[in-house]
Amino acid sequence: MTTLASIIVSIAEEMRTASERGTVANYIPPLARVDLNRFGMAVVGMDGETHTVGDAEIPFSVQSVSKVFSLSMALNAMGKELWGRVRQEPSGSAFNSIIQLENEHGIPRNPFINAGAIVIADILVSRYGRENAQTKLLEFLRPLVSDPSSIDIDTDVARQERETGFRNMALANYMRTFGNIRNVVEDTLDFYFHQCALTMSCHQLAQVGTYLMTGGRNPRTGEQVMSERNAQTILALMMMCGHYDGSGAFAIRVGLPGKSGVGGGILAIAPGVASIAVWSPGLNAQGNSLLGTRALERLVQHTGWSVFRANPWVANPT
Ligand code: GLU
């Protein structure tokens, strides 16, 4: 009988032997030296049942996957007024594109391109203050996982992001000229760089994602951590914008809301069914995990979890 456990084992085996693995992000040494052969996957179901495979317990730099969590906090803090400062549309551009910003008067297309995520970081710095924003972020994430203390921020990665983040500085300063960055640019960026430097394993990332699988509820505590409506909005944005200018292809191949990061992680959500995290550090041309995407594609082929499937969900194979 095919079980979810056997499916992910077969996926890991396929990925272990794949010859084409993409390219590791090389803009800072801590990312450049990650072993290209790493592969991990974790799936957490509605009943908490968890399946992990490969390097699922090894922490990695979640990078832009963190944009989902900062957006969740900013929506909680500001409500729909937030959409006056960042839009809800796919960008069709690279993650750090500047061109669109000029045409659109400093209002980024969506919260998942860098410009949009920097505005979200600015909103959190306004709300909580520079230092406290980081604490609040960890406080948001930790109750969602079984081993809370091990989720942390790699300050060395954050420092190197800052030392090399010239384009992000350009984006932030440019938006400041439109009044869409309200704090000292360095403070907003410092928080943004620390948020990108969050470190989690696939197992932890899949656990963190459970609040999006359940319509905003932390299944561990029963607490509603965000409204169901906001959780749906975030999933829609993940589907449309979660993979930069590779978002359309990801939606067609995988059919799940997902968010990638240049560390090679992807968080994907099958609403009401599962929270899935995958990690393979080699990236494709759009900066998304090459084998991570393929692994999710395989998972959905086996389980029928695509949100675009015409038939009702197939039973969760256990
Ligand atoms: N820290 C990276 C940046 O801001 C994140 C990019 C990503 O993960 O897509 O450039």
HSE (side-chain half, CA atoms, 13 Å) at 235: 25
Q: Beta 274-279 vs 265-270: how paired, if at all?
A: antiparallel
Would you say the CB of residue 114 lies under 6 angstroms from ligand 1? yes
pLDDT for the residue numbered 96: 73
Would you say the CB of residue 96 lies under 6 angstroms from ligand 1? yes
Specify the DSSP class assigned to residue 184. Answer: -
Q: What percent of the chain has pLDDT over 70?
A: 97
How many angstroms separate the CA atoms of 218 and 212, rounded? 9
Fold (topology level) of 4-63+200-303? Beta-lactamase (3.40.710)
Structure confidence by residue, pLDDT tens digits, 226-252: 999 999 999 999 999 999 899 999 999
Q: How confident is the model at residue 72 (pLDDT cuts 50, 70, 90)?
A: very high
Helix, strand, coil proportions of the chain in percent (round to 5)? 50, 15, 35
Q: Which CATH number fits domain 65-198: 3.30.70.1140, 1.20.1070.10, 3.40.710.10, 2.10.10.90?
A: 3.40.710.10
Would you say the CB of residue 168 lies under 6 angstroms from ligand 1? yes
Tell me the pTM.
0.96
Angle, alpha carbons 258-261-264 (nearest 5°): 100
Three-class SS state of 264: coil
> Does the active-site annotation cover 262?
yes
> Does the active-site annotation cover 119?
no
Buried b (16+ CB within 10 A) or exposed e, 137-158: beebbbebbeeeeebebbeebb
Structural domain spans, the chain: 4-63+200-303, 65-198
Q: What is the largest CA-CA distance in the chain?
A: 61
Q: Beta 258-260 vs 265-270: how paired, if at all?
A: antiparallel
Which member of 192, 278, 300, 307 is catalytic? Answer: 192
> Does the active-site annotation cover 93?
no
**311 has pLDDT over 80:** no
Amino acid letter for position 40? G
How many angstroms separate the CA atoms of 121 and 140, rounded? 15
Q: How confident is the model at residue 92 (pLDDT cuts 50, 70, 90)?
A: confident
Worst-scoring range by mean pLDDT, 6-20, 95-109, 189-203?
A: 95-109
291 exposed, middle or buried (CB, 10 Å; 0-12, 13-18, 19+)?
buried
44 DSSP β-pair partners: 50, 275
Buried b (16+ CB within 10 A) or exposed e, 211-240: bbbbbbbbbeeeeebbeeebbebbbebbbb
Please give the number of the atom of ligand 1 that sits closest to the Cα of 64.
Answer: 8
Please give the number of the atom of ligand 1 that sits closest to the Cα of 165.
Answer: 10
Q: How far is the CA of 260 from the centre of ligand 1 (A)?
A: 10
Q: How confident is the model at residue 312 (pLDDT cuts 50, 70, 90)?
A: low
Q: Do 4-63+200-303 and 65-198 show the same overall fold?
A: yes
